[in-house]
Structure 1
Amino acid sequence: MKLTGTNVLVTGGGRGIGRYLVEQLDEAGANVFVLEYDENLCEELNQLASARVRAVQCDVANADAVDIAIQTVTEAGFDIDVLINNAGIIHSEPLVNMLSRTERAHSRDNWRKVMATDLDSVFFVTSRVVDHMLAKRKKGVVISISSIAANGNAGQSAYSAAKAGVNALTHTWAKELGPLGLRFIAIAPGFIDTPSTRAALSETMLAKLQQQVPLRRLGAMQAVSQAVHYAIENDYLTGSILEVDGGLVL
């Protein structure tokens, strides 16, 4: 599948890697529709110079909101060829915090919030988009942004479990829907150099992270974008988890 003229739906495309993906897809000639939680970021996207990019506000962790948003997108004449499940949050919290003098156990509310945003949303959006693709007899592609945390990161119970679930859904749907012409790929970034990464970590911590990577550097957002483009254009690729991590998981 060539990118030029392709209709791509992106969740969480207002900032960070999602925003970079939207901009790179636009530059490649794709038509992009974004589902974004933040109304201000939606407005920013809708004010971009390119007429190929549109955005609508949607909480993808809410099944009813997803149903309405997908209906809005398709009724606007946007026949979805590619879905990129990018929306997500990173959360770090130990299962039991031995240093806490009050509540030591992992917050159940935080567990539910991460699972809703990072895993439930993938199910909600994909089920509706796949239904649309099959109704239109499209040979579509679904790409989900996972993480190397799916292998298990200490202190990230919810996030690791959610991303492992994303990988499992990718394998399951590739087997289930491959005979109908649909492809499913997950992309698992490692340590990526983003504005939020720079804001959250000190230079000392960034240096330590880089020493854990065989290539001794953080990945650029371009590396994730290149993996997305590859997954879209390679029509014999499905069921794969593409690790974009500089060799971190070996």
Structure 2
Amino acid sequence: MPEALNVDQLKAKALEIRKLIIEITTEAGSGHPSSSLSACDVVTALYFGGFMNFDVKNTTDPNRDRFILSKGHACPVLYSAMALAGYFPVKEIMTLRKLGSPYEGHPNMKRLRGIEASTGSLGQGLSLAVGHAIGAKMDKKGYHTFCMTGDGEMGEGQVWEAIASAEKYKLGNLTLIVDQNGFQQTGATKDVLDMLQFQPKIESFGWHVQTINGNDMSQVVDALKKAKAVTDRPTAIVSKTQKGFGILPLLEAEGDINYHGKPLSKALAEKALAFLSQSA
């Protein structure tokens, strides 16, 4: 596990990851950069803030903490963070979505070490995370399981069955992070299926819940510390974010603040990388 970084160092690491997200999706000519950018701060904190126990040389260590990216289409953020953490060479992720590459458009645990679950069928990740958390209790292991969903997939019934099950089994070793960026494939989530406020809904199942600005690294770090301190019940962090955070003004200028499932053109990517550097 890398040495835990402080908030300023985590912000710098998140900037590195944002740049990689743009570079690899533009190189691929496909992918989900905006969905990855919104989740970047939380994923950065998990891998580099000292919140997860992992060993890049022993990715099957039974005592490792788990991270399941249920919103699997945002895998550019996961691949970028894992590469910088040392799981695999950074240059390899430039083959994202290329024929034969293990860096597929959604995480595939059969092809890439360190991936805990093959995800992309939205709504399933939290059920897998519940299974890991129950397994830890059965095996008397101390590992913690984190799962990130998108806010669009929170409309799936399976998610709420998993939430109910996690409370039943008192899974204090489980943390759900909802990347609430306000959009899904076909538009704004409030227009597709307005779930209103997530915190009171999840709290009603007996969970400990926090709502934060998920693009504010200080809030992210504080929330993860509080979540790890709760051990008698499952915890959730409703992470309110902006899709395309970091380059949102450029996407607004393009007339598409959702920018779902399409890469930046090479010209726009150059602008985006320069914009990120200037914003640092």
RCO greater where, 1 or 2, for CA within 8 Å and sep 6 or more?
2
Greater share of residues in strand? 1
TM-score (norm: length of structure 2): 0.38
- With the length of structure 1 as denominator, give the TM-score of the two structures: 0.41
